[in-house]
Structure 1
Amino acid sequence: MNKQVQVHGALFLVALIYGSNYSIAKEVMPFYVGPFGLIVIRVVSAALFFGVFSRLVVKEKIVGRADNLRSVACGVTGIAINQLCFFGGLNLTAPINAALLMVISPVAVLLFSALLLRESVGWRKAAGIAVACLGALLLISQSGGESATGNMLGDLLIVLNAVSFGMYLVLVKPLMQRYKAITVVSRIFAVGAAIVVPFGWQQLLTPNYETFPISIWLAIAFMVLAVTILAYLLNTWALRYANPSLVGAYIYLQPVLAILIAITFGKDMFTLQKGLYALLIFAGVYMVSRTRQNLGKGV
């Protein structure tokens, strides 16, 4: 299969998983598990999985002071701050607010790419980001699937999450040039787990897990296996062949897929207007993906 098709397929699956997570996570928290307790379950489970898998299969280590410091920075931005702010914010605000604010992440990716990787920001890439962002903003603003008005603190936490994730995408790119994906992900989850446990330990011990219905256990399993493990692996693998800006641009697909999921469960209606806004998003992602040196070994 063509490498470009594989990369776009992986990024689309990540967008689908993340788009589903907005609604699924709200089913679990805060009634069953607090947001920080849920983070501990996710991050520690993933850290154990990646740690064991890395030692048994890959047997590769990150070497050198610079790469080790970069991996710690990736753990702080891509796991600790990202997870704590996202679930803390989503717990307070409405899913539609969270999806709307997440579209600023590619802006952060462009900024940090220019500053840290010396990546040029040409007119075509900037135009693609603008078109996709416009489509996402119009689409979400017209969605009637969520009636909650949101929360200022929750919205601010989602913004911080988006910026942190944008920085992570840029920081992790050089590591992906030198190490296998599982090696990088194993390290950053180990760093993230060490940071989030003190924040969520009390919330982890509070729930009465014996009373959880099977649907909540399935939701938690989805967040651990799909949202945490599979999505991070696919995202990190894709960064070996794609610019951080392309990976960030796929965030625009999350609101589209979230609305399609809502339609499937009878929580929203599809209109021509929404279809046109979705086309703007796909057009913007295409413009970014066609930018010179987007795919391949070069940055």
Structure 2
Amino acid sequence: MTRTYILLFICVVVWGSNFIFGAILVNTFHPVLLTTLRLLFINLFFLAYAIMCKKDLYIEKNEMKSVLLIGVIGVAINQWSFYEGLQTADPTTAALILALTPVMTSILAVFILNEPLTAKLVIGGGIATFGVFFVIGVGQRFVFSEGLIWIFITMLSFSLSIVLIRKLGNRDDMFLITFFSSIFGFLIMLPFLTFTFSHITLKYSIESWSLLIVTAILMHGICTLVWNNQLRKAQASTAAMFLNLEPFVTMVVGYIILQKSVTAIQIIGAVFIVCGVYIATFGYGKKSRGQKVLFRKAT
């Protein structure tokens, strides 16, 4: 189990670093081009993995529409909005906003999956949301920049994609859903790429290309496979607690690489967010016996 925890922690460190490396990459690549290229290399990695492991690349027809929707929302929109947002949004603030994902996922599940709205979800969600607005309000005087709006879209699209994946039901091999949704996401981005650029130039430095390719394969390829594999060995609630470390990883990596100082307001906000997410999601998925249900959608 120690090995599992170490691997989960490494994945979180890598994903937390994505905010910093993404902020660096958008200074070189246009967000649309960056999204398309990253998806290209991610899909090439997944294809190589599928061939090496002799995967049967097939999904049921009744799953195709859902996987396509996940590709649109959870891949294309999610990735695009993320890099659009990092052009102007502070990476640490972006990480704090995305830390709301577990709470937003639980709220969406109430209306889409008919799961109960419990008192602890409302209380925890309120505390976490307060943490985000504390950072934006006190730290930035409630200035919602275009970048922050894009990051909120990233958080919403990610949360919705998680709910859609859960709606498909439990599968022994989630790789196929990941692979085909990534393929669809890439194909959806191609028209936007041709619409955005009349002429595409790929003359970038070796350093820029290396950072793009390595981060794409490592963060969205290798870490995704490792995380999904280790989830079979660790409780979901334990894995969720590791994800709460992402904002703090972003703060540390941002300070090391970008020499970006971390404010007391961001730290206080992060504490509120982590505490709120913990309250809202601890024991999530277990029977709600003993929990006060405030609302349940009629079926």
> Could you state the TM-score of these two structures normalised by the residue count of structure 2?
0.75
Q: What is the RMSD computed on CA atoms of the aligned residues? A: 3.7
- Give the deviation of 1:51 after TM superposition: 2.4
Rate the CA distance shift 1:98–1:285 in 2: closer, same or farther, 3 A: closer
Distance 1:232 1:262 in 2: 22
Match of 2:48 among 52, 56, 74: 52
* Equivalent AA in structure 2 for residue 21 of structure 1: N
Match of 2:165 in 1: 172
| Structure 1 gaps, min length 5 | none
Q: Deviations over 1:224-279 (max 9, x none)?
A: 12232134435655777777x998887654332211223335421576x7655544
Match of 2:15 in 1: 18
Partner of residue 131 from structure 1, selected from 117, 124, 127:
127
Preserved contact between residue 93 and residue 266 of structure 2 (Cα < 8 Å): no
Corresponding position: 1:220 with 2:212 = yes
- Is the Cα contact below 8 Å between 1:246 and 1:288 reproduced in 2? no
Q: CA deviation at 1:6?
A: 4.3
Structure 2 counterpart of 1:208? 203
TM-score by structure 1 length? Answer: 0.75
Contact kept in structure 2, 1:136 and 1:255, CA below 8 Å: no
The 5 A counterparts of 1:254-293 are 254-265=246-257, 266-269=259-262, 277-293=269-285
Residue in 2 aligned with 1:105? 101
Q: Distance in 1 between matches of 2:267 and 2:148?
A: 27
Q: Does the residue aligned with 2:260 lie in a helix, a strand or coil?
A: coil
CA distance in 1, matches of 2:214, 2:111: 36
Q: Secondary structure at the match of 1:180?
A: coil
Normalized per residue, the structure richer in helix is: 1
CA deviation map 1:99-126 (0-9, x unaligned): 3543453443123211222222322233
SS at 2:127 equivalent: helix
Return the alpha-carbon distance in structure 2 between the equivalents of residues 242 and 204 of structure 1.
49
Gaps of 5+ in 2: 288-299
Q: 1:237 to 1:290 in 2, by over 3 A?
A: same
Which shifted more, 165-174 or 17-26? 17-26
* Runs of 4+ deviating beyond 6 Å: 140-144, 238-243, 245-251
CA distance in 2, matches of 1:204, 1:234: 38
Paired residue for 1:81, among 77, 83, 87? 77
Residue correspondences, number: 281
Match of 1:42 in 2: 38
Deviations 1:71-104 (A, max 9, x none): 1111111111111122123224443553354345
**Inter-partner Cα distance in structure 2 for 1:50 and 1:229:** 7
- Structure 2 CA distance, aligned partners of 1:111 and 1:246? 20
Distance 1:121 1:9 in 2: 33
Map of 1:233 onto structure 2: 225
Identity of aligned residues (%): 22
